[in-house]
Amino acid sequence: MKRAVTGLWRWRASPLYRGTDRREAWLTMCAAVLVVVVVPLVGWLTDVQAHRVLLDTVRHQHAVRHQVRATVEVFVHGRAEDDEDDSGLDEGRRARVSWTDPDGVTQSGVTTVGRRVLPGQSVQLWIGARGGITIAPMSPAAASFHSLLAGIVGGAAAGGAVEGGRRLALGRMRRARYTRWDEEWARSGPGWGRTGTGN
C-alpha cells in the first residue's frame, strides 16, 4: 500500500503520468486496503464461527460417548466388519474385546490394543451412541486449534480473492489500453514518419 500511495503522490503532476496509470495505482491501493482490513476480519469471523460449531460438536460427542473397560479376548488379523475404531492404526495389534453396556448386556468388537496387552487383560474403550467402539471425543483444545486453522485458511482465501480480483481488473484495464493503442496506430501508423504526411 505504501508503494501505491507513494506512486500516486510522486507522479500525480508528471506529464508522463497517464490516466490509466492513475487508475491502476488507485486499484492497487484499494486492493491493499482491502487486504489489510478484510483479510483479518474474514479470518476472525471464520475462526469464531468454526469455533462455535466445533464446540457444539465437542459437547455432543462428550454427551453421547463414554468410556468402558473391556477385556481382551483374542488377537485377530485384518479388519472386522463391525470394527468402528479408526484410532490407533499401526500403534498396536488388532484384538476382539468384550464389555458390559449400561443395560448389563455383554457386547464385543474389534479394536487396536497396545502391543504389550495380553488376552485376559483389560483396556479402556470409548463407546459411541449406538454402542459401538469409537474414537475419543474431541477436546476443547483441539476445537480451538482447528478453528484457528480455519480462520487462517479463510483469511488466506479472502486475500487470494482480493488479489485475484485486482489482477483481473488490471488485466482488463491493460487490454483496453492496448486496444486503444491499436486503434490509434491504425489511424496514424501507416503514414507516421513519412515525408509530407504532416507528422
Determine the average pLDDT of the residues in 51-62. Answer: 95
Confidence of residue 40 (pLDDT cuts 50, 70, 90): very high
**Inside any domain, residue 18:** no
**Inside any domain, residue 71:** yes
% pLDDT > 70, the chain: 77
**Inside any domain, residue 159:** no
Confidence of residue 81 (pLDDT cuts 50, 70, 90): very low
Determine the average pLDDT of the residues in 142-165. Answer: 94
**Inside any domain, residue 19:** no
The answer to pTM > 0.75 is no
**Inside any domain, residue 189:** no
**Inside any domain, residue 13:** no
C-alpha cell at 23: 487508475
> What pLDDT does 117 receive?
84
**Inside any domain, residue 116:** yes
Helix (H, G, I), strand (E, B) or coil at 12: coil
Cβ atoms of residues 125 and 5 within 8 Å = no
**Inside any domain, residue 114:** yes
Q: What is the pLDDT of residues 91-148, one digit of tens each?
A: 578 889 988 887 778 888 898 888 888 888 889 989 888 888 989 999 999 999 999 9
Q: Is the pLDDT of residue 4 over 90?
A: no
Domains contained in the chain, number? 1
In degrees and rounded to multiples of 5, residue 115 shows phi and psi of -65, -20
What domain range includes position 73? 66-136
Confidence of residue 88 (pLDDT cuts 50, 70, 90): very low
C-alpha cell at 64: 453421547
